[in-house]
Structure 1
Amino acid sequence: MWLIVKALISAAVIVAVAELSSRLPRLGALLLTLPIISILAFIMAWNKDHDMIAISKLARETLVLVPLGLPFFVPLAMSSKTGLSFWPSFGLGVVLATLTIGAWFRFGPQVSP
């Protein structure tokens, strides 16, 4: 039951951002930038295991990986200047984020499980 509740909460956030962003892009972006999913994930992880060490590790990894994922947005934000449509911009963003995050996993410090 708890798994279904978590899925519904996550879906509601995604739908809210998608709906809001078409009418009020700035408000949609604000909602998107709030770490709502992270907050929910931390709460759900705490409720499940009460393991502060695991939550601390998750927070440290998230702190590093969030900036590394930001290149995803660059082609989408620059699409009006580059002339790229949605899918090429989206694909290029995925490639850029994959490169930065992949480089971190390959060359960054190794984390023990």
Structure 2
Amino acid sequence: MEAIIKVFAAALIIAFTSWLSGKKPELAGFIIALPMVSILALLFSYLEHRSADTSITLAKSVMVGVPVSYLFFMPFFFAEKFGWGFWVPYITGLGLLGIGYLLHSYIMNLIG
């Protein structure tokens, strides 16, 4: 039952913002940028594991991961300038996200 609630909460946020993006893409982007998923994940993680240490490590990982994840969006800023369309910045962003993961792992190892 717990898993179903988690899946439903995440799916509801994703479905709502996907629908909203057709009507008000700026508002949908703002909602996605809010840390709702992080807030829910931290809460569910703590309730499931009852470990403050695990939850604190998760929160630190999110804090490091958010700016690193912006690497995915960087190619979209250059898409119009270079006439890339959608797929080139999307695939390039995924590649940069892979590099971001390595950076994230390195930083997390530094801060413990």
**When the two structures are superposed, what TM-score results if normalisation uses the length of structure 1?**
0.87
Q: Mind listing any 5+ residue stretches in structure 2 that lack a counterpart?
A: none
Assess, with a 3 A threshold, how the Cα gap between structure 1 residues 49 and 7 changes in structure 2: closer, same or farther: same
1:28 is aligned to 2:28: yes
Aligned residue pairs, count: 111
Runs of 4+ residues deviating >6 angstroms: none
Report deviation, 1:76.
2.0
Q: Deviations over 1:59-110 (max 9, x none)?
A: 11111111111010111233222211212111011111211222342x4452
Q: Mind listing any 5+ residue stretches in structure 1 that lack a counterpart?
A: none
| TM alignment of 1:94-109, pairs within 5 A | 94-105=94-105, 107-108=106-107
**Could you tell me the percent identity over the aligned residues?**
26
Name the structure 1 match of 2:85: 85
2: distance between equivalents of 1:100 and 1:29? 21
Q: Deviations over 1:28-61 (max 9, x none)?
A: 1111100111011011112112211110111111
Name the structure 1 match of 2:109: 110
8 Å CA contact 2:79, 2:89 repeated in 1: yes
Q: Comparing both chains, which one has the higher relative contact order based on Cα–Cα distances under 8 Å and sequence gaps of 6 or more?
A: 2
